[in-house]
Amino acid sequence: MQITGAILVGANDRTGGSTFQAVDPASGETLSPAFHEASPTDVDAACALAAEAFPTFRDLALDVRAAFLESIAEEIAALGDDLIVRAMAESGLPRARLEGERGRTMGQLKLFASVLREGSWMDVTIDPAMPDRAPLPRPDLRRLNVALGPVAVFGASNFPLAFSVAGGDTASALAAGCPVVVKGHPAHPGTGELVARAVRAAVAKAGLPAGVFSYLPGTTNELGGALVADARIKAVGFTGSRGGGLALVKIASERPEPIPVYAEMSSVNPVVLFPAAARNRGAALGEAYVASLTQGAGQFCTNPGLVIALEGSDLAAFEASAAAAMGKTPAGQMLTPAIHGLYSKGVDALAAHAAVETVARGPVGEGVNQAQGAIFAASADAFASDPVLGHEVFGSSSIVVRARDMDEVKRIIRGLEGQLTATVLFDEEDEELVAEIVPLLAERSGRVLGNGWPTGVEVSHAMVHGGPFPATSDGRTTSVGTLAIARFLRPVCYQNLPDRVLPPALRSDNPYGVARRVDGTMTQA
């Protein structure tokens, strides 16, 4: 598959006025070809096609839409090593990581195909008529979830495959029956185009309307803003910075018809280290902490950016072990010069902060755009008195907050903003304390995990990758896992309508064979 730099509007390749190029962050070199910047005209064309495609795509038989998702996975596989090589050049991420991410991307698409076929995502609910009920008869009521309409997806820089063009947001939106218009991330436009061409090939093979998918490369905020403002777009999926997410939320809320924005934005992912665990295995945990913190140069939404623990010799041992590990961990390649610049600025600010102690710095990188790891420490008082210390520094930087007692630990937790994850590191003797702390953490996060590290995010039914504001703009949802489909659905009730007028899933003969709740009780087909 050729990378041409085109704008992919439905089945058409378009060109624009200005162009931009990708940069290899490991070398600082500019990569060919040049990519055309999508314009408001392209946004308009893509949204018009998406709106046109919507009724057909929404009403597809479940199996047809499921097969389409599987076909996208196959087309991505068919891109072969070209995809991996280009993604390596554009992201600086290593081969093994990108091969794993490709597997995850394909797995997500197939998982949503299975979700589609299983059918409980529609939440089919039937209250049969009660014609003889007094004083008033009950009508026949049938409810199911339906697609919202065309969805705008903004890819993330740190997952050029799994959270970009055909990543989690796109997979869940397509599964729901929503056409997708992707605003491509400018850090990996070639990777994006390859995947977009794979999706387009699947659209064509399935004989679907071309408007089911469009891909708009570009570098400007104006492009993203025009897409979110388009009246035909009915929801937005975004993974990125807090500033970027909030800007889209604002545009969406000021439309004549406001729409939901699912922005996954920022999180420091607090880790609470309990006393017995610190005493029994502080040194080992310190090493594991650095491994999680520096993985992928710390460029994960769920990076452990904050450790909370009781001050004293056990914590000192944890810190010493972490410092030793950090000293031996090479600097990590970052995704873009801009991300590296922000990281360095954030770390320098913490290092210069009067109330912050530098516990350890990793080795200085040998190449360009490499993250020199950093571990800082502060007292609970200092942490509580300056909100900046609780803000995310995207990359392998973390701060240890030393509390005098568990009450202070609780106070720190109560002062935290919403988080994607919260972690408890504990031994059996800690369990009573853990039982007190976990509800406080659950109140402020989407996932609470025990004796592990938050950087692994399983794609499954029970996963929640979400959390209260500002971790996300809508804490009622998840962007990873099968529940993500719910973001792009709304319920509709049909009352006293004959079978031939009803959506198939609501008809008497239940042609899809989905489980349905009838008069309050779940029934299998």
For residue 436 the two structure tokens come to 């007190």
Cα(367)–Cα(362) distance, rounded to whole angstroms?
14
Select from 447, 479, 485, 505 the one that contacts a copy of itself (CB under 8 A): 447
Select from 139, 341, 367, 415 the one that contacts a copy of itself (CB under 8 A): 139
Q: 311: which residues sit within 8 A by CB, 6+ positions away?
A: 379, 402, 403, 404
How far lies 310's CA from each of 60, 292, 322, 412, 452, in Å? Answer: 57, 21, 16, 12, 19
Select from 81, 131, 132, 257 the one that contacts a copy of itself (CB under 8 A): 257
Q: Residue 278 CB, nearest distance to a copy of itself (Å)?
A: 18
For residue 62 the two structure tokens come to 């479940």
Which of 160-168, 195-203, 304-312, 469-477 is the region at the interface with a copy of itself (rule: CB under 8 A)?
Answer: 469-477
Please, which residues bridge with residue 19 across strands?
Answer: 36
Residue with Cβ nearer a copy of itself (311 or 417):
417
Are 499 and 491 in contact, with CB atoms under 8 Å apart?
Answer: no
Burial 31-64 (b: 16+ CB within 10 A, else e): bebebbbbbeebbebbbbbbbbbbeebbebebee
Catalytic residue among 75, 90, 101, 301: 301
The answer to whether 118 contacts a copy of itself (rule: CB under 8 A) is yes
> Three-class SS of residue 467?
coil
Q: Residue 326 CB, nearest distance to a copy of itself (Å)?
A: 24
Residues 384-423 that bind a copy of itself (CB under 8 A): 417-418
Residue 423 backbone phi and psi in degrees, to 5: -125, 140
Within 4-63, strands assigned E span 7-9, 12-14, 19-20, 23-24, 29-30, 35-36
Q: Residue 407 CB, nearest distance to a copy of itself (Å)?
A: 16
Residues 48-87 that bind a copy of itself (CB under 8 A): 55, 59
Residues 224-253 that bind a copy of itself (CB under 8 A): 249, 253
Burial 206-234 (b: 16+ CB within 10 A, else e): bebbbbbbbbbbbbeeebbbbbbbbebbb
Residue with Cβ nearer a copy of itself (390 or 468):
468
Task: Let me know if 301 is a catalytic residue.
Answer: yes
What CA dihedral angle connects 14, 16, 20 and 21, to 10 degrees?
Answer: 20
Select from 278, 285, 403, 448 the one that contacts a copy of itself (CB under 8 A): 448
Select from 491, 511, 523, 525 the one that contacts a copy of itself (CB under 8 A): 491
Select from 490, 504, 507, 513 the one that contacts a copy of itself (CB under 8 A): 490
Cα(413)–Cα(394) distance, rounded to whole angstroms?
21
Catalytic residue among 75, 193, 264, 408: 264
The answer to whether 460 contacts a copy of itself (rule: CB under 8 A) is yes
How far lies 145's CA from each of 491, 508, 512, in Å? Answer: 4, 17, 15
Select from 41, 469, 504, 513 the one that contacts a copy of itself (CB under 8 A): 469
Which of 135-143, 169-177, 185-193, 362-370 is the region at the interface with a copy of itself (rule: CB under 8 A)?
Answer: 135-143
Cα(148)–Cα(300) distance, rounded to whole angstroms?
30
The answer to whether 151 contacts a copy of itself (rule: CB under 8 A) is no
Residue with Cβ nearer a copy of itself (29 or 59):
59
Q: Residue 269 CB, nearest distance to a copy of itself (Å)?
A: 13
Residues 84-113 that bind a copy of itself (CB under 8 A): 100
Residue with Cβ nearer a copy of itself (291 or 338):
291
> Three-class SS of residue 329?
coil
> Three-class SS of residue 375?
strand
Cα(483)–Cα(262) distance, rounded to whole angstroms?
13
The answer to whether 276 contacts a copy of itself (rule: CB under 8 A) is no
Residue with Cβ nearer a copy of itself (397 or 423):
423
Residues 470-489 that bind a copy of itself (CB under 8 A): 470, 473-478, 483, 489
Task: Let me know if 458 is a catalytic residue.
Answer: no
Taking each helix axis from N to C end, the angle separating 189-205 and 62-78, rounded to the nearest 10 degrees, works out to: 140
Q: Residue 438 CB, nearest distance to a copy of itself (Å)?
A: 5
Select from 324, 438, 504, 510 the one that contacts a copy of itself (CB under 8 A): 438
The answer to whether 427 contacts a copy of itself (rule: CB under 8 A) is no
